[in-house]
Chain A
């Protein structure tokens, strides 16, 4: 259904007023009419790719927002301690879907690239505003994927900002711009989805159907369906070759993952070393005591900690960069320590590290994690004392929690 709306009046008329068209002599190269001839571009192609990009970004946004809320919980937010692998799944999905979005976004941008050269470049003030707004959409989408990839590659020096903050807030802009874009394209999306199959160009194996240059040039090339299949398959391969950093069975085919979940001290990857945390000496100091700072304050040596009832749990450690690995942890139940401190069931504590500075030198441990029987002050990993890079002499390990909140080289447990 095509209709012509009523002409706007008043101030809106200024926005819609046509602007003079540039001289046609400027219309050269990619600006020429008919310059863009690939039959792979169509409204249906753009619509389907846009939907796929939208789904990938929605998954990224939802899982990223979840991770942010877990790390910075507002009063209304609660995060369970079970299932123990839930965060592992959501954050693994965050990174996998981000990498999978790379071919989808690039294919989508290639499909609409000729619109960059539309003529006239500006038809009205409103048209100009609309075109400029696309910079926000495209720019924020590229920003998110580039910074995400750089984070996985640990290449921080090329980002002139703190990755976490910029990535989080730009995600809101990206997802908002996608919503606005979808709203502005609803009618065209409907047309694109209902475009008949007859719009398909000639099948790839067919000989040229005509002698005119465009058809002859594309003969034997991909059909639109073939193009979409190739893009989807590429996205799937990228996802599979990224997932190995959290799915051990796929680690052998990892290409874009940051970790092999089996590699590292004691068979477990490390994200922050004792050296970079500046605790190489303090962590092995025999006079080191863990301070329990509550109604019944105490200072516990490693020997005393080892004399307390020990429990072994099998839990994953999950990094915000998407990798995760399961290990056997042995130590004292945090619930027992909180009882020793004389704290009530609903008490919250801060677990602090020997690390003297850094955003993640301390974490808040609140119910349900604080009283979960799987939450330990771990002293051992996979049957041996903790490696110093894993937090010797003691570290926090709790179910369904980001790795940055699993405080290493614990020095103090303080009641809030």
Chain B
């Protein structure tokens, strides 16, 4: 059983970040780099350089260390928290959820996870100010909960349809 226990590896090519040709451990040789890559590299590198210059020189620009820490925390939050949670959820789902309702459960989990990630700062409401009551006027926790509930109701309906279809297929099979 793999880390996710959910199927076959289908992507074995692993490009060199510089576009150079190479061979991955288990996959076929990597494709040759595109001759047009510099048409993307040049404006991209100019934009990155311009952004870095701006961050370092702009009035009221961030302190580099604080900017880097914030950037690193974002990466860590994804790589060490969100992604493992998603992978773990996929593993549990593959092991615990019957196949016939697995797809609705997957969509439900995807939607729930996104609702939590997109809405957490609004739900926490740390930006609410009595001074400006028209800002953040909603019960965000309630609205996120309703959205997630509607999603799961829809997924439950889809699961029922799949179960009924599956039982009909089973009934049609010769004994």
Interface, chain A (partner B; CB < 8 A): 1-5, 16, 29-30, 32-43, 46, 99, 102-103, 106-107, 109-110, 113, 115-116, 118-119, 123, 126-127, 129-131, 133-136, 138-140, 142-143, 146, 149-150, 152-162, 164-166, 168-188, 190-191, 199, 201, 204-205, 207-208, 213-215, 217-222, 226-227, 230-231, 234, 237-238, 241, 254-260, 263-265, 268-273, 275-276, 389
How extensive is the interface on chain B, given as a class? Answer: 35 or more
B residues 108-140 in Cβ contact with A at 8 Å? 110-111, 113-115, 117-119, 121-122, 124-129, 131-138, 140
Given contacts A142-B77, A172-B48, A220-B98, 15 further A-B contacts (CB under 8 A): A37-B3, A46-B11, A109-B83, A110-B87, A155-B127, A160-B66, A161-B62, A162-B62, A166-B55, A179-B40, A180-B41, A184-B17, A201-B10, A258-B135, A270-B135
A-side contacts of B5, CB under 8 Å: 37, 213-214, 217
Is A37 a contact of B8 with CB atoms below 8 Å?
yes
A153–B8 touching, CB < 8 Å: no
Contact B9 A36 (CB under 8 A): yes
Query: Are B48 and A260 in contact, with the CB atoms below 8 A?
Result: no
B1, B32, B33, B122 — which one has the most chain A CB atoms within 10 A of its CB? B122
Among B11, B48, B113, B124, residue most surrounded by chain A Cβ atoms (within 10 Å): B11
Residues of A within 8 A of B45 (CB): 176, 180
Task: Give the docked Cα–Cα distance between A329 and B17 (Å).
Answer: 55
The smallest beta-carbon distance between A22 and chain B, in angstroms, is 13
Determine if B121 and A155 form an interchain contact, defined as CB atoms under 8 angstroms apart: yes
Give the complex CA separation of A110 and B109 in angstroms: 14
Q: Within 8 Å of chain A (Cβ to Cβ): is B25?
A: yes
Shortest CB-to-CB span from B109 to chain A, Å, is 10
> At the interface, yes or no: B157 with Cβ under 8 Å from chain A?
no
Q: How far is the CA of A107 from the CA of B82 in the complex (A)?
A: 11
Asked if B43 is at the interface (CB within 8 A of a chain A CB), the reply is yes
Partner of A172 from B4, B54, B119 at Cβ < 8 Å:
B54
Residues 131-164 of chain B, each 1 if its beta carbon lies under 8 Å from chain A, else 0? 1111111101001100100000000000000100
Chain B residue numbers with a CB within 8 Å of A226 are 103, 107
Chain A's nearest CB lies how many Å from the CB of B36?
Answer: 6
Instruction: Name 21 interchain pairs, CB-CB below 8 A, sorted by A.
Output: A2-B21, A3-B32, A16-B20, A36-B9, A39-B8, A43-B13, A107-B110, A110-B86, A118-B14, A139-B71, A142-B74, A142-B77, A159-B70, A160-B69, A161-B70, A166-B67, A185-B15, A204-B162, A205-B165, A255-B138, A255-B144
Let me know if A176 and B94 touch, CB within 8 A: no
- A37 x B6 contact (CB < 8 A): yes
**B10:A186 contact, CB within 8 angstroms:** no
Contact B51 A131 (CB under 8 A): no
Which residues of chain A come closer than 8 Å to B90, judged between CB atoms? 38
In the complex the two chains form, what is the Cα distance from A20 to B41 in whole Å?
A: 29
Within 8 A of A (CB), among B34-75: 34, 36-41, 43-52, 54-55, 58-63, 66-67, 69-72, 74-75
* A152→B38 contact, CB < 8 A: no
CB-based contact B26/A33 at 8 Å: yes
Indicate whether A135 sits within 8 Å of B75 (C-beta atoms), given known contacts A38-B90, A180-B44. yes
Tell whether, in the assembled complex, residue B126 and residue A136 are in contact, meaning their CB atoms are under 8 Å apart: no
